[in-house]
Structure 1
Amino acid sequence: MLVALEAETRFADGSLDPRERVALGGADRTPGPVGLSLFEDDVTMSWRDMVVLMLTISDNPCTDALIRRLGTDALNATARRLGLHDTVIQSDLMDMLDSMGQDLGHTGWLDLLSWSADASPDESARVDEALPTTRALDPEKDTRTTPRDMVTLLGALWSGQAGPAAACARVRAVMARQLTKHRIATGFRPPARVAAKSGSLVGVVRNEIGVITCPDDRQYLAAVFTRSRPGADDFAINTAIGTATACAVAHLEGCRQPSA
């Protein structure tokens, strides 16, 4: 979200050409479960289209290309400007993954993946046990944020106060096109609408933030963060995120009803 806002702000002020095409080499792309990480050939893409893949499917290579182009200093400065006091970007995703691999006794993330392909069940279990203790999963040591900060960011985006009007509008529009609707969106049915951005990390972190627009156009900002042990029931956790959000919105809707 913060990366998308910074990119769209630079598109709006002309300091970054959204149509500039950038090569993303196959050997240099950040690993991930979806998107460009699964491609075998080199890809050339505009900055503007990278924002779309980053927000709609959480594409790791696009996220990292944008972080490197924008710089963590600029992202953290924007976080401070918006009052996101508990939000810090320490590195790109590749460096974060590599730190996990190193903390687990390997040269980096790809080395860990190569080792795990032939690891015994006991060896894999030991890695799963140690995974939550790595630096990348310690909010005191690596990239971090909080639900409160993310709701603050959503409020600034939806009110148009986070940056240029065009930048805010673009982020809102792309979030509404999110393809992975298995978290907050599971708690709502049309005509309610959900614009959201999810975030996951190695089967331990499953988060989502979003804006729910009710049929009467009232809007609710939501941020649900979860943490579980590797191997936990992914479907149950994702569904719980939607259920918790729906219960909170139903409670707030009830509070708005006039008393009998």
Structure 2
Amino acid sequence: MTNTRGLLREAFAAAGVTGRLHALDIDSGAELDDGADQPVVTASVHKLCLLLTLHQQAAAGQLDLTEQIECPADGRTPGPTGLAAMLDPVRMSLRDVAFLMMAVSDNTAADLLLERVGLDAVNATTDRLGLDRTHATHGFSELLATVKEDAGPGGAQALADPHVIARLRALDPARTNRSTPRDMTRLLGAVWRDEACTPEHGAAMRRLLGLQVWPHRMASGFPFDDVHVAGKTGSLPTLRNEVGVIEYPDGGRYAVAVFTRAASTAAVLPAADAVIGTAARIAVDALRAQPARPTREGAG
């Protein structure tokens, strides 16, 4: 695996980012890491923990996913997608709000669900799974408020200044929502093996992760019709992340978590997005090159 780590670091360097990665063969337990236990800022990746909490509460009978929830026109969490970008009041089910949170990373949807289930419950969920390095400090409205406050009077334009970037609490794992790449692949593995929730709810979560619309990060490394990628991205100034599961037609299932930070403060960096797919592909290829794993029941 030493050569694989070299390939990963070369790819990250060529894209102008530092990267942290963990990849896990969900069925055999084989793994590959490069900084897998380093604390990382999750950003919207933490919506996965919220989704799991929602489904665990539904499985326990604490809520009904068809329950209708109101989203008023005012006071929405900022964001460019979903309810965050809409102008009029909306009424929809909890499960449809969860769809928007996962498919288009809707911040307003996430905070509506967080208000329903509670931040402490999200942390209890990750604690029960033994994800000791994963913690939610605040909701997404509060997270974005720290960015606005730390940016100062210069507003969004100030985020092009490296000195401003350096003082953002939202980019410090000690002061914001955080995890490690290894914790995230453990969470994904538990969801795919139906250990994190009942099979019914596990299937529902896997469906939502498979409906994410963004093809420019992890999915870009697997441009094949018969390979399925399900994941969740996360973004903040200079940060681009994605965690997901890649499923091959032979039954192979691989959880991969990639967290990057760019040297450039530019908002648009296609190479920094694409290297997440490149790194995931390097890692999965290395896992698939290992001795044959036990065949999963029902796998071809």
1:204 maps to: 238
Task: Using structure 1 for the length normalisation, give the TM-score.
Answer: 0.88
C-alpha distance in structure 2 between counterparts of 1:26 and 1:227, whole Å: 34
How does 1:91-106 map onto structure 2 within 5 Å? 91-105=138-152
SS of alignment partner, residue 154 of structure 1: helix
SS of alignment partner, residue 180 of structure 1: coil
2:218 maps to: 184
1:170 maps to: 204
User: What do the CA deviations read for 1:24-55 (whole angstroms, capped 9, x no partner)?
Assistant: 12221111122222111111121110111111
C-alpha distance in structure 1 between counterparts of 2:235 and 2:275, whole Å: 15
SS of alignment partner, residue 178 of structure 2: coil
RMSD across aligned positions (CA): 1.9
Task: Using structure 2 for the length normalisation, give the TM-score.
Answer: 0.76
Structure 2 gap segments, 5+ residues each: 1-47, 294-300
C-alpha distance in structure 2 between counterparts of 1:194 and 1:184, whole Å: 8
Higher helix share: 1
User: What do the CA deviations read for 1:190-219 (whole angstroms, capped 9, x no partner)?
Assistant: 211111111112x32110011111120111
Higher strand share: 2
SS of alignment partner, residue 256 of structure 1: coil
Higher relative contact order (CA 8 A, sep 6+): 2
Are the aligned partners of 1:132 and 1:204 in contact in 2 as well (CA < 8 Å)?
Answer: no
Q: Which residue of the other structure, out of 69, 73, 78, is the alignment partner of 1:22?
A: 69
The answer to whether residue 123 in structure 2 is matched with residue 61 in structure 1 is: no
SS of alignment partner, residue 196 of structure 2: coil
Q: Specify whether residues 148 and 25 from structure 1 end up closer, same or farther in structure 2 by C-alpha distance, changes over 3 A only.
A: same
Structure 1 gap segments, 5+ residues each: 117-122
Q: Percent identity?
A: 39
How does 1:74-93 map onto structure 2 within 5 Å? 74-93=121-140
The answer to whether residue 270 in structure 2 is matched with residue 223 in structure 1 is: no
Are the aligned partners of 1:211 and 1:219 in contact in 2 as well (CA < 8 Å)?
Answer: yes
Count of paired positions = 244
C-alpha distance in structure 1 between counterparts of 2:140 and 2:243, whole Å: 19
SS of alignment partner, residue 91 of structure 1: coil
C-alpha distance in structure 1 between counterparts of 2:221 and 2:247, whole Å: 13
1:124 shift after superposition = 6.2
1:155 maps to: 189
1:232 shift after superposition = 5.8
1:73 maps to: 120
1:125 shift after superposition = 4.2
C-alpha distance in structure 1 between counterparts of 2:173 and 2:201, whole Å: 29
Q: Specify whether residues 136 and 24 from structure 1 end up closer, same or farther in structure 2 by C-alpha distance, changes over 3 A only.
A: same
In the alignment, residue 87 of structure 1 is paired with which amino acid?
T
Q: Which runs of 4+ in 1 moved over 6 A?
A: none
Are the aligned partners of 1:100 and 1:131 in contact in 2 as well (CA < 8 Å)?
Answer: no
In the alignment, residue 251 of structure 1 is paired with which amino acid?
A
